[in-house]
């Protein structure tokens, strides 16, 4: 397979010159978005609207830039995401839309409608066959997303406590899954709580939507009801004391495999284009109701027709960057027992793993990890 083209622009501007939304428009035009026939077509722009309380998500201005280009090409765009399976303000369409509005995403600001892909309760999905799937035969994808003629992913590239980073594949695969689809992807891993490390703070309890975490009042420690647990991993990211780990060492790999296959179900058989912004690189997912300071500097905007090459290019840029002082990453690096994995993502969250996702994505034909960078000034 020949190298994929990944187009790149940095975040630098000059006084009285183009702003960043204009730079993004130039980037995606140079990357070839105009090659897609959008005339009169419904165009789904998949992004994350940010959990309420988290302000590291992509600004609506970037979404508006993409919407404007789609309209110039004759398309009928809408922004979309699917509901979540954990506590927060995005577990049903009413709360999800209110959260999006409060975070600045309205038809007025972004220039198009906002649709929740899997409907009111997260049950409006379609069973989509996964061509070449080894772990998922039919992916449960939000109906509105599958009804679109053209699919565009607009991704905030950042860290993630299970998958190492949240990039295009995660935005597409996990993000487009309905609530049932998300549960299927997370189904293998069950957490274990080290009673010696648990402080009994109950912070993890707030992250569980499935009554799987139980506080032992006698011992003042948390325990896991594994019958109720769906393995979503949100408790893992909530613990500041490394008390939570997964019993199944392959759990993250299994999640990565399913996520890649879900992404393939979304993109197969229709025109697609992918955009990732490496900005405000928080250590954890935008699904958190808070955001820590960035672990890495703002590196730039990337665009490609290949989501695998796009993720690889973003990851490579991050791995070459110097960690920011005073961040979760450098805090870990300064610990006396720090073990250097020579990987900023794993050094941030040692329980995480991302390479298996990329390897599997190549195996199933989602894309290639071989790419060339084309710089757009």
Give pLDDT, residue 83: 94
Nearest by Cα to 266 from 173, 338, 356: 173
* Collapsed DSSP state (helix, strand, coil) of residue 308: helix
pLDDT tens digit sequence for 157-198: 999 999 999 999 999 999 999 988 988 888 666 788 999 999
pTM above 0.85, yes or no: yes
| Percent of the residues in the chain that have a pLDDT greater than 90, as a whole number | 84
Residue 162 and residue 160: Cα distance in Å, rounded? 6
Residue 125 and residue 181: Cα distance in Å, rounded? 9
Using the 8-state DSSP alphabet, how is residue 205 labeled? G
Residue 250 has pLDDT above 60, yes or no: no
Residue 23 has pLDDT above 60, yes or no: yes
Give pLDDT, residue 210: 85
Upper half-sphere CA count for residue 305 (Cβ side, 13 Å): 15
Using the 8-state DSSP alphabet, how is residue 33 labeled? G
**Residue entry with tokens 């609506």:** 60
Give pLDDT, residue 239: 85
**In the chain, which ranges are continuous DSSP H helix?**
20-30, 60-72, 93-102, 107-110, 143-147, 168-176, 179-185, 234-238, 251-267, 307-320, 328-333, 344-348, 355-363
Residue 95 has pLDDT above 60, yes or no: yes
Domains and CATH numbers, the chain: 4-187+249-375 (3.40.50.11440), 191-246 (3.30.70.20)
Nearest by Cα to 347 from 258, 264, 283: 283
Q: At what angle do helices 307-320 and 355-363 cross, to 10 degrees?
A: 150
């Amino acid at each position: 397979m020949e190298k994929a083209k990944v187009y790149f622009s940095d975040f630098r501007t000059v006084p009285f010159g183009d702003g960043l939304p204009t730079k993004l428009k130039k980037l995606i035009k140079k990357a070839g978005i105009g090659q897609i026939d959008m005339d009169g077509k419904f165009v789904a722009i998949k992004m994350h609207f940010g959990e309420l309380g988290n302000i590291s998500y992509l600004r609506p201005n970037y979404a508006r830039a993409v919407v404007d280009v789609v309209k110039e090409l004759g398309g009928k765009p809408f922004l979309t995401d699917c509901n979540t399976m954990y506590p927060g303000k995005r577990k049903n369409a009413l709360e999800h839309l209110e959260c999006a509005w409060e975070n600045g995403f309205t038809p007025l600001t972004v220039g198009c409608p906002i649709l929740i892909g899997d409907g009111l309760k997260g049950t409006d999905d379609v069973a989509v066959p996964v061509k070449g799937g080894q772990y998922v035969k039919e992916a449960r994808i939000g109906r509105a997303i599958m009804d679109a003629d053209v699919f565009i992913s607009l991704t905030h590239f950042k860290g993630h406590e299970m998958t190492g980073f949240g990039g295009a594949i995660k935005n597409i695969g996990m993000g487009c899954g309905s609530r049932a689809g998300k549960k299927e992807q997370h189904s293998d891993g069950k957490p274990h709580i080290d009673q010696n490390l648990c402080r009994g703070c109950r912070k993890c309890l707030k992250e569980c939507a499935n009554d799987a975490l139980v506080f032992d009042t006698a011992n003042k420690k948390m325990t896991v009801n594994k019958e109720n647990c769906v393995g979503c991993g949100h408790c893992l990211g909530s613990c500041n004391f490394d008390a939570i780990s997964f019993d199944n060492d392959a759990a993250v790999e299994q999640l990565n495999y399913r996520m890649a296959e879900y992404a393939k179900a979304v993109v197969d058989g229709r025109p697609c284009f992918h955009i990732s912004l490496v900005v405000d690189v928080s250590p954890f997912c935008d699904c958190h109701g808070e955001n820590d300071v960035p672990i890495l500097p703002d590196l730039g905007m990337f665009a490609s027709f290949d989501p695998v090459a796009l993720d690889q290019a973003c990851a490579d840029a991050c791995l070459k960057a110097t960690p920011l002082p005073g961040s979760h990453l450098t805090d870990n690096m300064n610990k006396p027992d720090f073990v250097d994995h020579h990987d900023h993502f794993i050094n941030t969250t040692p329980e995480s793993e991302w390479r298996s996702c990329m390897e599997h994505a190549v195996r199933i034909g989602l894309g290639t990890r071989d790419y060339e960078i084309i710089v757009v000034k």
